[in-house]
Amino acid sequence: MKQLKRIKGTQDILPEKSPQWQALERHIRREMALFNFREIRTPVFEMTEVFARGIGQFTDIVSKEMYTFQDRSRKSLTLKPEMTAPVMRAFIENTLYARTPVHKLYYLAPLFRQENPQAGRLRQFHQYGAEFIGSPAPEADVETILLALHIFEGLGLKNMELRINSVGDPESREPYKALLRDYLSQNIPDPEPVVAERIANNPLRVLDSKDENLQEVIQQAPKLIDHLKESAAAHYHSVKAQLSKAGVGFREDPTLVRGLDYYTHTVFEVTSDALGAQNALCGGGRYDLLARELGDKDFPAVGFAAGMERILMALEAQGIQLAEPEAPDIFMITMGQAAREEMTPWLARLRRAGLSADADFLGRSVKAQFREANRSGARFSLILGEDELEQKFFSVKDMKNSTQENVPFGELTGYLLQKRKD
């Protein structure tokens, strides 16, 4: 029969990589707690409308990348391609706003987008992110950006760049969109169908096109930040001033518009030079109008999400290891049938004492057991043969220091717990 394969663009995370993932997850949880963000978990699928209304019909995600299907009752469901819309849906549905006016929420989650797979771009990938809901203040934008940077810096990542921009409020953006649409129509005489569609439906998205032929037109295009109304300009100005005061370096990038429609005011991305074409470690911004799309109330909010695969790639490229490979404390080696019968009870005693322990489960030769003990990376080998059994002791080999000692049964766990600390 044909061997089955995983779905294109998905990954198996194998045991040798899991310690890095776990260490990254621990780091994220610790740093989120430091900023007083609390975890929220939402279902892996949602009604399609949550994303269609939340992210925007004309975005790449909604128009061509979602895993959407009908269940048996013909409801349209979608595997979540991002977390901001589900978090806002959950926030409204569970009336979290009735408890306190401001909520700091974070998540770690697998997400699904049917993109063309390449390095750093998968069809199932993992994000962690933070959503700060309830405050319209520029301080909340700054808090969110500082949190994103704090987590990266704590990992030891280097050579990152923070880019920021403002996409304004609707009062600033709508007249600007018309202006930009006219400019693009005049200056791109014969646009490709995708570009023509964007000029018509979402002209801002043309600005982050990577197409070489469009770069000059994009560089010369009118800039939204020059057309911000007073309050939007003041918000942006305040964010920049606070970042500077906090000693954070950033580059203003008027072409940074992000691929989701819900943004207002501040948008930002952090890129790493350790990555290839897909070099964004995280992206985010303010999204004051999303709540209205999903419910009937307004809740100002700002957040970001970071790609965990990309972070692990950047860490590897920069030679940073978050965790040592995993190994048990003990590998037990038995010689002869009588000793082998003592294996299971001894393993149980060791584990009850908090020592991780393994042994041979294939009835292998002593030589092969020693080889396995070495391969396992165990700190200690415990050898139990006929002499040991008769005189009630173990030969304990310290694999780190290459020393060997005889330890009476009664003293074994205490001895190992003490030695493990060295």
Residues lying near ligand HAM in the complex (CB under 6 A): 82-84, 113, 115, 120-122, 125, 127, 129, 131, 259-260, 280-285, 287, 303-307, 309-310
Distances (CA, A) of 229 to 204, 237, 262: 17, 12, 19
Count CB atoms within 10 A of the CB of residue 216: 10
Q: Is 345 exposed, middle or buried (0-12, 13-18, 19+ CB in 10 A)?
A: exposed
Nearer to ligand HAM, 145 or 228 (CB): 145
Nearer to ligand HAM, 124 or 376 (CB): 124
Nearer to ligand HAM, 113 or 379 (CB): 113
Distances (CA, A) of 339 to 23, 93, 334, 346, 383: 38, 61, 6, 10, 9
Nearer to ligand HAM, 275 or 416 (CB): 275
CA distance 68 to 62: 10
CA distance 239 to 300: 16
The partner residues of 271 in beta bridges, in order of sequence, read 161, 280
Least Å from the CB of residue 336 to ligand HAM:
54
Nearer to ligand HAM, 131 or 372 (CB): 131
Nearer to ligand HAM, 91 or 304 (CB): 304
Least Å from the CB of residue 308 to ligand HAM:
8
Least Å from the CB of residue 33 to ligand HAM:
19
Least Å from the CB of residue 157 to ligand HAM:
13
Instruction: Check: CB of residue 393 under 8 Å from CB of residue 409.
Output: yes
Instruction: Check: CB of residue 393 under 8 Å from CB of residue 408.
Output: yes
Least Å from the CB of residue 125 to ligand HAM:
3
Least Å from the CB of residue 160 to ligand HAM:
12
Amino acid present at 422: D
Handedness of CA 184, 185, 186, 191 (dihedral sign): positive
Residue nearest to ligand HAM (CB): 307
Distances (CA, A) of 357 to 338, 360, 377, 411: 20, 11, 11, 17
For 133, the enclosing helix (H) or strand (E) is: strand 124-133
Terminus-to-terminus CA distance in the chain, angstroms?
52
CA distance 39 to 99: 16
Nearer to ligand HAM, 127 or 381 (CB): 127
Nearer to ligand HAM, 145 or 412 (CB): 145
Tokens of 249: 């370096």
For 160, the enclosing helix (H) or strand (E) is: strand 160-166
Least Å from the CB of residue 146 to ligand HAM:
15
Nearest Cα neighbor of 307 from 14, 31, 21 is: 21
Nearer to ligand HAM, 125 or 393 (CB): 125
CA distance 133 to 126: 22
